[in-house]
């Protein structure tokens, strides 16, 4: 074989090998012929909001502190419901569903609201984001203690719940 062809084949081979190499740190394995690329873990971006079903949205009148509770059994959910709302709790298929109760602290006047913005799986947790909105200045409100509460269900997950409370600007009066 012509030595020029051999040299050209070697140069082309090196060019192909060089083109296959990617930048970034690498780790040498026990086998010196094998090199693995070490890449940073992808960011833990939250997933999309999952579908939820609102089971109760009320202005619960109670003096207890705020609640953020996840129910995984019908019996526990029924006991909570009977103690706080009276009657029988809605039937929930706890085999594939969780129920969460979110309640704010008690406010001395009406006009406060609680909105669940999103339930999503993020960073190994079930992130439940909700917003408290207060009545704006000059709004007509009654001096009647209220405690906004939302009870909802969402698809069952193995992740622990993380509650994230946001504060919204006061609701303007019309």
Residues 161 and 75 in one domain: yes
Q: How many domains does the chain have?
A: 2
- Residue 59, pLDDT score: 76
Extract the tokens encoding 11.
């140069």
Give the long-range contacts of residues 21-26, CB within 8 A, separation 24 or more: none
Q: Are residues 86 and 17 in the same domain?
A: no
Q: Give the residue numbers spanning the domain of 121.
A: 53-167
The alpha helices in the chain, defined as continuous H runs, are 3-20, 74-84
The number of angstroms, rounded, from the C-alpha of 44 to the middle of its chain's C-alpha atoms is: 11
Question: Is residue 46, in this structure, part of any structural domain at all?
Answer: no
Q: Does some domain include residue 174?
A: no
β-strand partners of 125: 122, 160
Q: Which residues contact 123 (CB under 8 A, 6 or more apart)?
A: 44, 46
7 and 59 belong to one structural domain: no
Rounded Cα gap, residues 24 and 108, in angstroms: 59
Q: Can you tell me the distance from the alpha carbon of 78 to that of 99, in angstroms, rounded to the nearest whole number?
A: 11
Residue identified by tokens 């690329």 is 37
Tens-digit pLDDT string for the chain (174 aa): 454 454 434 444 433 334 333 333 333 334 344 333 444 433 456 789 999 999 998 876 554 556 899 999 999 999 988 888 889 999 999 999 999 999 888 888 888 889 999 999 988 899 999 999 888 888 888 888 888 889 999 999 889 999 999 888 787 776
Q: What do you get for the CA distance between the two ends of the chain, in Å?
A: 91
Indicate whether 65 belongs to any domain.
yes
Dihedral angle computed from the Cα positions of residues 4, 6, 11 and 15, in that order, rounded to the nearest 10 degrees: 140
- Asked if 100 and 153 sit in the same domain, the reply is yes
Query: What is the rounded CA–CA span in Å between residue 92 and residue 77?
Result: 9
pLDDT of residue 12: 40
Assess if residue 156 is contained within a domain.
yes
Q: Within a domain: residue 48?
A: no
Same domain, 100 and 24: no
**In this structure, how many other beta carbons lie within 10 angstroms of the beta carbon of residue 172?**
10
- 74, two tokens: 């019908």
């Amino acid at each position: 074989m012509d030595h020029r062809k051999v040299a050209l084949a070697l140069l082309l081979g090196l060019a192909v090998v060089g083109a296959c190499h990617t930048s970034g740190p690498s780790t040498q394995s026990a086998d010196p012929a094998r090199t693995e690329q070490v890449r940073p873990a992808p960011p833990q971006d939250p997933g999309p909001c999952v579908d939820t079903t609102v089971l109760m949205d009320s202005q619960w009148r109670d003096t207890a502190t705020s609640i953020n509770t996840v129910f995984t059994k019908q019996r526990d959910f029924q006991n909570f419901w009977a103690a706080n709302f009276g009657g029988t709790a809605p039937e929930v298929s706890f085999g594939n569903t969780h129920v969460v109760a979110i309640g704010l602290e008690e406010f001395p006047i009406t006009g406060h609201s609680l909105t669940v913005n999103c339930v999503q799986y993020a960073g190994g947790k079930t992130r439940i984001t909700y917003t408290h909105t207060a009545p704006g200045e000059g709004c007509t409100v009654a001096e009647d203690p209220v405690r906004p509460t939302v009870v909802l269900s969402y698809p069952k997950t193995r992740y622990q719940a993380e509650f994230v409370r946001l504060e919204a600007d006061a609701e303007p009066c019309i």
